[in-house]
Amino acid sequence: MTMNVAANFNSSSDPVASTSGDTVVPALFHLLAALWIGSMLLVAYGWPHHYETLLQEDRPVEWGTVWLFLVAGIVRSLEAIRTRRPFDALVALFCLFVAGEEFSWGQRLFGYGSPEYFLANNYQQELNLHNLPGAVFKPKWVLILALAGYGVLLPLVARFERIRRLLARVGATPPPAVLAPWFVAAVVLLLWYPLTLTGEWVEFLAGSLFLVSKKLVSGTLWLILSLALIFGVTLTTITDAIEHDRDIDRSACARTEAQNLINDIALSDAATGKLKRRRSLHKRAWAAMNEGYLTGEHAREFEATRCGGGGDDGGGEAARRRYAVDPWGMSYWLHTKKIDDERQRVMIYSFGPNRRRDGVAGAPAGDDISAVAVTAR
């Protein structure tokens, strides 16, 4: 059911639906937003394994987020160009940028490797900007500023006549004020971060807010929102099929490399005292080297591995191993756990051919590839 109520920034006769210009917010959207937040919290506490699986990369929630930001960016771009509104065009570009960054510009989908700069400097060793060092690219804070500035501050200041005239000159269309509580909720959840992977499902909510705040016919809006779920499930299925068939022979190379790196940790000097003192650790192997838990110069057996053509990701085997990247261009991971005062369980694992963690920390599943050793602390 849609409430077609005309309102302006100064007043609204309806407490549930309001407008910014011709933009109408369906009353049902408020219920769906509340259900989304509540269901994520419920699944996280009731079924934590399913929660983590649902929110992993290349799973339905991430693909749904890509869809929402992509469509929001496209419809906003078309409208901004047609009406010649510069600020609205910037909002559209932001949505398109988030969509591209969310799935690393198709890197995992199409299977191409990262340039060496991104292998060395990107937190996830992927081709995206938001995981590079420097606060300006921190996704959490960029999204918080965008949500607070666009969704909360803009409709608030637009209540003043002089500022409304200024906004009109720069081509800025504020979102409906009735959406402000949901923008605030998204900001609070990102700041609070009550659960692991909170940012993943809040990004989905944010994408829906940027979409709903755009002027759309009610039927079109519901179709786009429904397609977010269909798109998420479909792309998850497609990527599963693509990755299953993509050079699965590289598995042998990954097994050899994982075992050789474990040998360097267990039998050589690759593990530092800092690692041995930790009760537990779960990090990308390259991050562990940068933070002093492993020493790359002592990972000699790992660096000397020879896999042949099947192990080359296009950037050269030597470069891959220098940055502890598996044959599919993804990071090797290090997981350790204290057994007792004298022993420590150490694992190196790869996401395998599907480029996605199928198990949980310390317990690989599916096509994840791992090597394990018990070492002295």
pLDDT at position 73: 96
Q: Strand 280-284 relative to strand 23-24: parallel, antiparallel, unpaired? A: unpaired
Say if residue 262 is in the same domain as residue 216: no
CA dihedral for 227, 228, 231, 237, sign (positive or negative)? negative
1 in any annotated domain: no
- Per-residue pLDDT tens digits for 79-123: 999 999 999 999 999 999 999 988 888 776 776 667 777 777 776
C-alpha pair distances (Å), 67 with each of 63, 215, 231: 6, 18, 7
7 in any annotated domain: no
Say if residue 233 is in the same domain as residue 290: no
26 in any annotated domain: yes
The last residue of one of the domains, among 209, 244, 279, is 244
Say if residue 350 is in the same domain as residue 214: no
What is the spatial distance between Cα 109 and Cα 64, in angstroms, rounded to a whole number?
15
What is the spatial distance between Cα 253 and Cα 260, in angstroms, rounded to a whole number?
11
- State both tokens at 256: 């050899």
Say if residue 131 is in the same domain as residue 275: no
Say if residue 224 is in the same domain as residue 263: no
Contacts for 11 with CB less than 8 Å, ≥ 6 apart = none
Say if residue 172 is in the same domain as residue 64: yes
Q: How far is CA 248 from the centre of its chain?
A: 25
Beta bridge partners of 369: 350
The last residue of one of the domains, among 229, 244, 259, is 244
The parts of the chain modelled with pLDDT lower than 70 are 1-24, 108, 111-113, 123, 130-138, 241-249, 308-316
Start-end of H helices in 130-217 = 139-146, 154-157, 161-170, 180-192, 198-212
Contact 365, 359 (CB under 8 A): yes
Return the number of other C-beta atoms located less than 10 Å from residue 342's C-beta: 9
167 in any annotated domain: yes
The DSSP letter of residue 177 is G
6 in any annotated domain: no
What is the spatial distance between Cα 227 and Cα 60, in angstroms, rounded to a whole number?
12
Contact 130, 138 (CB under 8 A): yes
Say if residue 344 is in the same domain as residue 372: yes
Say if residue 368 is in the same domain as residue 264: yes
Provide the domain count of the chain.
2
Beta bridge partners of 192: none
Amino acid 104 reads: S
What is the spatial distance between Cα 110 and Cα 118, in angstroms, rounded to a whole number?
17
Return the number of other C-beta atoms located less than 10 Å from residue 240's C-beta: 14
Say if residue 179 is in the same domain as residue 285: no
205 in any annotated domain: yes
- Per-residue pLDDT tens digits for 155-169: 999 999 999 999 999
Domain with 310 in it: 250-376
Q: CA angle, 110 as apex, 321 and 324 as ends, to 5°? A: 10
For residue 212, give the nearest of 194, 189, 186, 231 by alpha carbon: 186
Phi then psi dihedrals of residue 306, to 5 deg: -125, 120
pLDDT at position 134: 56
Say if residue 222 is in the same domain as residue 350: no
Say if residue 231 is in the same domain as residue 127: yes
Contacts for 39 with CB less than 8 Å, ≥ 6 apart = none
What is the spatial distance between Cα 227 and Cα 283, in angstroms, rounded to a whole number?
35
Say if residue 221 is in the same domain as residue 347: no
The last residue of one of the domains, among 213, 244, 275, is 244
